[in-house]
Amino acid sequence: MLMNYTTEHIATDFLIIGGGVAGLRAAVELARNGDVLVVTKDAPSESSSEYAQGGVAVALSDEDEISIHFDDTIKAGDGLCIRKSVGTLVEEGPMRIRELIDWGAEFDREGTRLAFTQEAAHSKRRILHAQGDSTGHEIMRVLIDKVRSMHRATKIDFAFTKDLIIEQGACTGALIIQQKQQKVLFIHARAVMLATGGAGSLFERTTNPPVATGDGMAMAWRAGAELMDLEFIQFHPTALFLPGAPQFLLSEAMRGEGGMLRNIHGLRFMDDYHPARELAPRDVVTRAIHSEMLSTSADHVYLDMTHLSAEYVQKRFPRIYNTCKTYGIDITSAPIPVSPAAHYIMGGVRTDLWGATSIPGLFAAGETACTGVHGANRLASNSLLEGLVFGERAGIGLARYAARHRKGPLTMTPARTAAGSKREGVFTASDIEHVRTALRKLMWENVGIVRDRKGLSVAMRKLREWDRMIRNPPRDRDALELRNMITTSLLITSSALKREGSVGAHYRSDLPAKGKNWRKRIVMKK
């Protein structure tokens, strides 16, 4: 399959696959303990962390307490949060944010004090933001600068990780393809971390960048790792809906600052669905919008900011204001057409509190991982905090693992990858874009906001058909990425079928109650 490519073997102490907040925070930690190699499949800026607008939730204001943040997170998770994970997140979160500030992070302030806003399901104003609505960009800037200053971390961009290397039951590296250079890299490491982000691009409508194709989850599955809670997909209520425009996220903070949802007839409708109206939990708001669109035979609703001061809106949401203005909408004088979009996966590769997976030597953090901290529905703006807290912890976990298993020079001989043996059946290059488009439409319609057994079963049959066709894909990124999309879609759909009831973001119209065994986790393993 790779016979025309040159092969190179590289040894490092630590390999991090993915360059978002979790991966970079781990790199900072690991650079104190050895040489670190960070591999990304695209440009360094292409990650969900970079696009995060609303902010980072942390109990740092005078009116807030860690215990209140804990309670809000538990409540949003609809009974399925793992309490130890939540405790770790909210207790260590303030340390990680203060650390960022010490490293030069410039969060917005009111005078000399940090400025906090409120988002849905938070009982206090605890959302820190930067440049109004560019929080992820600011955190990434600081972490990139910090990693560069440590001199023991290097990066390889535009390099696709095909599979993990498994030797004697442990993960000892990864097989990397540099398509442009026609080169295959066998990266050998003492410990490996997955930080490849989420899987929003499996769906036709998503706020995620195109790189969010579930790669880490698919790789971990092929390697034999456990995955958990994959049925829980959070659909953000408000993404821009405009022909020719990107599915641009319209931050939760817009509703936190007073934005109102109206249907196509101009009627404010959230009073009919939840006492907290626009500040209800995300899954509630999303299903309310879905219901309103069905009842009015519309493909969108409106987010209305026109009752607020134009000067305030422009200052508080400059990126959103300018983006909408580019597409002909002045959000200070006209309501914004919006509809839901896939945003965040609560599940992922199952880990402990130090990022360790069920495979020795393999760790995970960020959206790729599942510590159980989000339960069935993530509390708004907890994801950047999760990347910081559990990225740092995973870094410590990798360093400890490497110290315990230090056995002289690293092996530099070819090793078995987790992909297994070749099988017949492959897509041609012309098939790939067609199937990718069809898959995203299938997942949106059958495994989206509202699900049922019939639709999920239809999706399973089609996904299995595609899976049989692409088990031996071409060597190019598009084909390998599509293979990962099919694998992760199958895992999500199978999990959604197994959870016979409705909890948090997972809503089954055929089984609207939680069901008898609703507290049981859905754990997937090859």
Catalytic residue among 96, 282, 378, 508: 282
The DSSP annotation for 152-213 comes to SEEEE-S-EEEEEEEETTEEEEEEEEETTTTEEEEEEEEEEEE-----GGGSSSBSS-TT-S
Separation between Cα atoms, residue 4 and residue 230, nearest integer Å: 37
Q: Which residue has the tokens 């990798």?
A: 398
Helix then strand then coil, in percent of the chain rounded to 5, is: 35, 20, 45
For 228-341, where are the alpha helices, taking DSSP H only? Answer: 252-256, 282-295, 310-316, 318-326
Angle in degrees, 0-180, between the axes of helices 477-498 and 215-223, rounded to the nearest 10: 80
Q: Which residue has the tokens 């965040």?
A: 344
Give the dihedral sign, CA 91/117/370/168: negative
Give me 403's structure tokens: 């110290």
416 is catalytic: no
> Hey, how many other C-beta atoms are within 10 angstroms of the C-beta on 106?
12
Give me 471's structure tokens: 């088990």
DSSP reduced 3-state for 421 = coil
Separation between Cα atoms, residue 524 and residue 526, nearest integer Å: 7
Mode of pairing for the β-strands spanning 348-350 and 369-370: parallel
DSSP reduced 3-state for 296 = coil
Task: Give phi and psi for 142, each to the nearest 5.
Answer: -65, -45
Closest CA to 521 of 370, 386, 367: 370
* Residues identified as active-site: 282
